[in-house]
Structure 1
């Protein structure tokens, strides 16, 4: 039943809501298409709320084809919520390695611990309780509630907002958090109360395969006869989305340091912050390397006069000696560059290579280790580290 609050949200816009008969026709048409065309995916094999939850978290910011092997391995390692709650963090991060946005898996485990301690190890069925779990927002609450427990609660993500904005020609900026309430209100009106899980998944499938951002195949769309934007020929004007801020550039020197035993220096990052508890080659801020040198930030990634390169290398040697008590012999110039984009930051890493004799090895800081490449599989590497290693292999492992 539509609440006054929902009605008010819809009335804020110049949106003509469909009559009940049209809504019924839409649901029937849409779900008939979904029954025939729905994708076969491992998390759709049953209505297990744990499997649905894990898949939805993995699918955030990640393509379906990428997620499938990770999902299958994850469920093999942690088949029950209690297994996830008790998992060793290093094993957990390794299972997630390559998916990125590692806060997702950390929050998964925190929520699993909540479920074990507060709900006897079973996913709660009340949407308010589901939403109380760490890392679960309105979208995931709607997905679990509708797919696992058949509650008529919408799961509104970017795909859904795009489909709905075209269906009703809604001009609200989908980049603004407040707009979500509008789309949730409309979805609450049109969602099928008898098959809400299928309805939400149909929306997702349609948005990812047919009602795409720039090249929608409207002639193949099963619900084009209901679509206001298709009727007016304005499909590409929807959704309205303002540009997000550019990621802030951050510049580093990455130090790949090898000893005579073929081992490489790895450093474990702090337990808090970006890439927490993961392993990387040493990363030094560019500011520390161009101190006392008349250069601007970003110049490590560009050609420099010889006297400046010598100054940077001198500072690099000094910083490595101070931080790690070692003195490698360096290549004079960075041999490659890595660019890695986070949601809010863009890392530029100029990669330097250094080698040292075993005679000069000293005791490392407690968060550092010499590790042979044959043992790299035992350590969780974030995206920048993986890219740096591939650059090294391309350059030197021939």
Structure 2
């Protein structure tokens, strides 16, 4: 790892911030330093691109312009507004934190990273971003961009997926942060990492900090950052049941409060690919796994819909979801966590996975 002297650090800061002042991205959450706006944007941007986040961010603030208004929101409404961004625990933690700030702290935010990390769902990166941008604390905001930028600048060969990475990079970056502009510094690093020093096809030669980029100078940019291969996601098979009532409604069921897709609404999902299962087998599995009791006499037809189904990839799992329709002669009672609603209902918070399943069903169902 390379260590810069004070004169080099000063030149680097001036080069980076001069470029940022002229070419930094004009993003809606950069138009003020409101901690609510900074925090919301940074949570939304985790695992999601800027172009996707902007309309979500603007629509969210149209619903809940202040953190106090968010604190008073209903969780179902929050999850519905979040639908499509994935990782729904982020939305739940937004609501929890809003309530802590509003109801327990009188609207006052902690102003340092350590205090921010005590709030629900705020980890090292978001704490660093909010502390530096909203409260001018000289702390780094270390995300994928920061790992990439500083591993190349300083030839840091620590595996960024290792347990040691955060401390190594924190110790390397902290001395480089200007005391008077820590938030701009961190945002400049974000912009640099998404442009000249991006992961694929970087333009190191024209980077505003090319003179400080040791990996570029040595012709080894493609070797940084160092990271071990990802583990392949575990393959899992499910069958989504379209329980179709005479009036065209289907069963929507809320997922358990823990695990993937917690508290969101889907069609009942049976474990395994059940396209070849008989009506009695499906009915038994539906009762065992979901508590939905179905009289066999109500089933008019069992029909697999489509062929290979829908593939949806989470961080550690890869789901393949086939679809089976059970056409029913009447509407049976449902447990408390399930409802009869139209196929095209708009009132529930649906995960992207279910939206894919619904679209697949609509393309392949029999007329």
The two structures have a TM-score, normalised by structure 2, of 0.93
Distance of 2:180 and 2:324 partners within structure 1: 60
Distance of 2:94 and 2:196 partners within structure 1: 31
1:346: which partner in 2? 318
Instruction: Please give the secondary structure, in 1, of the residue aligned with 2:346.
Output: helix
1:81/1:122 contact within 8 Å kept: no
Which of residues 350, 363, 366 is equivalent to 1:394? 363
1:317/1:328 contact within 8 Å kept: no
Return structure 1 stretches of 4+ with deviation > 4 angstroms.
311-314
Distance of 1:251 and 1:345 partners within structure 2: 10
Structure showing the higher helix proportion among its residues: 1
Could you list the runs of 5+ residues in structure 1 that have no partner in the other structure?
1-14, 290-299, 301-308
1:361 aligns with 2:331: yes
Which of residues 257, 266, 285 is equivalent to 1:319? 285
Report the CA distance between 1:333 and its aligned residue: 3.3
1:253/1:351 contact within 8 Å kept: yes
1:224 aligns with 2:210: yes
2:305/2:361 contact within 8 Å kept: no
Which of residues 370, 381, 386 is equivalent to 2:340? 370
Instruction: Please give the secondary structure, in 1, of the residue aligned with 2:188.
Output: helix
2:305/2:365 contact within 8 Å kept: no
Which of residues 148, 164, 167 is equivalent to 1:162? 148
Distance of 2:122 and 2:83 partners within structure 1: 21
Instruction: Please give the secondary structure, in 1, of the residue aligned with 2:11.
Output: helix
Which of residues 12, 15, 27 is equivalent to 2:13? 27
Deviates more, 1:119-128 or 1:259-268: 119-128
Distance of 1:232 and 1:278 partners within structure 2: 50
Instruction: Please give the secondary structure, in 2, of the residue aligned with 1:324.
Output: coil
Instruction: Please show how residues 93-132 of structure 1 align to structure 2 within 5 Å.
Output: 93-132=79-118
1:333 aligns with 2:304: yes
Instruction: Please show how residues 1-398 of structure 1 align to structure 2 within 5 Å.
Output: 15-286=1-272, 289=274, 309=276, 311=277, 314-320=280-286, 323-326=292-295, 327-336=298-307, 337-357=309-329, 360-374=330-344, 376-396=345-365
1:10: which partner in 2? none
Distance of 1:200 and 1:253 partners within structure 2: 45
The two structures have a TM-score, normalised by structure 1, of 0.86
Deviates more, 1:110-119 or 1:96-105: 110-119
Equivalenced residue count is: 361
Distance of 2:202 and 2:335 partners within structure 1: 55
1:257/1:264 contact within 8 Å kept: yes
Distance of 2:366 and 2:36 partners within structure 1: 43
Instruction: Please give the secondary structure, in 1, of the residue aligned with 2:260.
Output: coil
Could you list the runs of 5+ residues in structure 2 that have no partner in the other structure?
none
C-alpha distance after superposition, 1:198-227 (max 9, x if no partner): 110010011112211131111221101111
Distance of 1:58 and 1:393 partners within structure 2: 30
Report the CA distance between 1:46 and its aligned residue: 0.4
Deviates more, 1:47-56 or 1:262-271: 262-271
Deviates more, 1:195-204 or 1:250-259: 250-259
Instruction: Please give the secondary structure, in 2, of the residue aligned with 1:254.
Output: strand
Report the CA distance between 1:286 and its aligned residue: 1.6
